[in-house]
Homo-oligomer: A and B are copies of this chain.
Amino acid sequence: MKVFVIGAHGQIGKKIVSKLVAQGDQVYAGIRHPEQAEAFEDAGAQPVQFNLLAQPEEMALALKGMDAVVFAAGSGGSTGYDMTLMIDLDGAVKSMQATELAGIKRYLIISAEFTPERAKWPNSLKPYYVAKYYADEWLKNRTQLAYTILQPGTLVNDAGTGKVTLNPTVGGEITRDDVATFAVQAIKTDGTIGQTIALINGDMPIATAVQNTK
């Protein structure tokens, strides 16, 4: 499967790339800066410069011929909220439009737990949640994409556990490794199409959970 990972250099993006490569997929690593390229070549992926500030038509050129697109990008904590608007919201939506322009159906985005429930947004992160909310809403309501929206809980860097709880009623943590494992399986599992899936670490093996998202 030819998969384009937007935000390949991010913490979850890197793990998604390496897991896809390990599965034998053809992986195109969308990166912002050319100096990030070498690490991906060494890892067996094809680095591609990809600019989320560009127009959808330009982005679409890089996506042509892919089977699926994974959006794992984020403006990150070190930039201002201007970039939250430009990357996490408008960049994400433009990447959806680019995916459709390129004739690709399958699209998976890494969102965040409780994004659909405004009243539960953590105070200090509210502006970030606004961006993620409107990006997710666009994907669900304004595209024809075969989408999957992953909404992980609080991300931690511990080793992967291989196990999750789906759609928990309370918040929780999940390792970035487990989010990546779930994502690379979900992108190949048709049952996750059209699904918005909240996940935290838990008791269910990921391979089982991916088959039971409905």
Seen from chain A, the residues whose Cβ lies within 8 Å of a Cβ on chain B are: 55, 80-86, 89-90, 94, 118-119, 126-127, 130-131, 133-134, 137-138, 141-142
Could you say which residues of chain B place their CB within 8 Å of the CB of A55?
118-119
* Cβ–Cβ contact B82 & A134, under 8 A: no
Partner of A130, one of B80, B85, B126, B133: B85
* Cβ–Cβ contact A126 & B86, under 8 A: yes
Rounded to whole angstroms, the CA-CA distance of A12 and B83 in the bound complex is 28
Identical chains bound together, number:
2
Interface centre among A80, A84, A130, A137 (most CB of B within 10 A): A130
Could you say which residues of chain B place their CB within 8 Å of the CB of A82?
81, 126-127
Partner of A85, one of B131, B138, B141, B142: B131
Could you say which residues of chain B place their CB within 8 Å of the CB of A83?
127
A58 to chain B, nearest CB (A): 11
Chain B residue with minimal CB distance to A55? B119
Q: With A55-B119, A80-B81, A81-B81 as given contacts, are A89 and B141 in contact (CB-CB < 8 Å)?
A: no
Rounded to whole angstroms, the CA-CA distance of A133 and B127 in the bound complex is 16
Could you say which residues of chain B place their CB within 8 Å of the CB of A94?
118
Could you say which residues of chain B place their CB within 8 Å of the CB of A130?
85-86, 89-90
A109 to chain B, nearest CB (A): 16
23 residue pairs bridging A and B, Cβ less than 8 Å apart? A55-B118, A55-B119, A80-B80, A80-B81, A81-B81, A81-B82, A81-B84, A81-B127, A82-B126, A82-B127, A83-B127, A84-B85, A85-B85, A85-B126, A85-B130, A86-B126, A86-B127, A86-B130, A90-B118, A90-B130, A90-B133, A134-B134, A141-B141
